[in-house]
């Protein structure tokens, strides 16, 4: 056996470290002041980013279902299931006991014109589905985005409203963060009969950093850590509360149609691809991956195929749910 000789220099180094740890090193006050002056703007800047992430600028409502697509509707108000927010929306009655709840994305309201939501609502109305379009709480002044934490409670409230109005089956059609919220809601309820999820956005650290970096070129460290540190201070919830791990690892029993694009610069398709591959091989989950569309603009780029795929899936799971 080879004998390893202890290096006396290593022992000297260890002793020096111990001595340094015991010593009380006093820095000049001017050094401390300079350090504070240098760090304060950096901390304030990252705090501002965290503050703005929770408060996106949202356009006001521009129309309503009667004006936009010529269908009657009802103004509805309902609470989140935890009672912390009151939500507003439109209920478009169909001629069945099947209801589709739209779950809009970050920085949008129930109209989400770039999707566009009214066209999808009209198509569903023609197929006799009831449609519920509602605003998440962060649309209201003074409320903040929570990455799906409070939004999940609000979506569950919307599902309860649909059930209260006689829906035998409730389907969720989600977009971006609204799709990620739908996945979070499906972790805690059996009241969702199926979901169509377009450009699914899950607020994990990689996705958060990817989106921040597109706006301003910041280093991952320490910027990501600082933003996550300040987020609960300004927005009341910690991003570590978002159950992204559970969403990624859960085998969902309900039918899900994942729609995504390889060109999505806000939500990496590989995350959704991995989510799909993690699902049981029972035919309940389907995945349509396009190659040339931007975030939430897949319908605009592939209108006929999008509607054919989405409505075929929806009608098939409607039959299966009955």
Longest Cα–Cα distance of the chain, Å, equals 88
Residue 40 falls inside a structural domain: no
Residue 110 falls inside a structural domain: yes
221 vs 270: CA distance, rounded Å = 23
Distances in Å between the Cα of 188 and the Cα atoms of 184, 217, 284, 317 are 7, 37, 18, 20
Q: What is the DSSP string of 194-215?
A: EEEEES-----HHHHHHHHHHH
Residue 34 falls inside a structural domain: no
Residue 319 has a pLDDT of 86
Residue 246 falls inside a structural domain: yes
Residues spanned by the domain of 182? 65-204+242-321
Residue 38 has a pLDDT of 78
CB 284 within 8 A of CB 196: no
Residue 29 has a pLDDT of 75
Residue 33 falls inside a structural domain: no
DSSP state of 179: H
Residue 168 falls inside a structural domain: yes
Residue 105 falls inside a structural domain: yes
Residue 281 has a pLDDT of 87
Residue 26 falls inside a structural domain: no
Residue ranges in the chain whose pLDDT is less than 50: 1-10, 13, 16-17, 20-21
210 vs 220: CA distance, rounded Å = 9
DSSP state of 139: G
- The CATH number linked to 313 is 3.40.50.1820
Count how many domains the chain has: 1
317 vs 278: CA distance, rounded Å = 21
How much is the pTM?
0.89
Residue 27 has a pLDDT of 66
CB 131 within 8 A of CB 165: no
């Amino acid at each position: 056996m080879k004998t390893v000789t202890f290096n006396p220099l290593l022992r000297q180094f260890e002793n020096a470290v111990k001595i340094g740890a015991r010593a009380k090193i006093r820095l000049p006050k001017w050094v401390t002041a300079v350090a504070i002056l240098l760090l304060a703007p950096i901390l304030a800047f990252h705090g501002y980013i965290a503050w703005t992430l929770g408060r996106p600028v949202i356009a006001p409502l521009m129309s309503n279902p009667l004006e936009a697509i010529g269908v009657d509707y009802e103004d509805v108000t309902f609470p989140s299931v935890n009672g912390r927010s009151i939500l507003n929306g439109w209920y478009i009655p169909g001629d069945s006991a099947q209801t589709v709840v739209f779950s809009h994305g970050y920085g949008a309201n129930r109209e989400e014109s770039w999707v566009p939501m009214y066209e999808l609502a009209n198509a569903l109305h023609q197929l006799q589905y009831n449609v519920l379009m509602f605003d998440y709480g962060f649309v209201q002044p003074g409320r903040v985005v929570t990455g799906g934490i409070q939004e999940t409670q609000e979506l569950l409230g919307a599902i309860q409203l649909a059930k209260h109005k006689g829906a035998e089956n409730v389907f969720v059609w989600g977009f971006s963060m609204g799709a990620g919220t739908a996945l979070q809601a499906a972790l805690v309820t059996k009241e969702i009969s199926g979901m169509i999820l377009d450009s699914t956005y899950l607020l994990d650290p990689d996705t958060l950093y990817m989106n921040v970096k597109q706006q301003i070129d910041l280093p991952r460290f320490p910027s990501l850590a600082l933003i996550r540190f300040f987020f609960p201070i300004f927005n009341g919830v910690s991003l570590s509360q978002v159950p992204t791990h559970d969403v990624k690892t859960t085998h969902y029993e309900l039918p899900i149609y994942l729609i995504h694009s390889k060109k999505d610069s806000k939500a990496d398709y590989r995350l959704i691809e991995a989510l799909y591959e993690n699902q049981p091989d029972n035919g309940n989950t389907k995945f349509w991956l396009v190659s040339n569309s931007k975030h939430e603009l897949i319908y605009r780029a592939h209108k006929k195929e999008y509607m054919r795929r989405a409505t075929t899936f929806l009608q098939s799971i409607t039959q299966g749910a009955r």
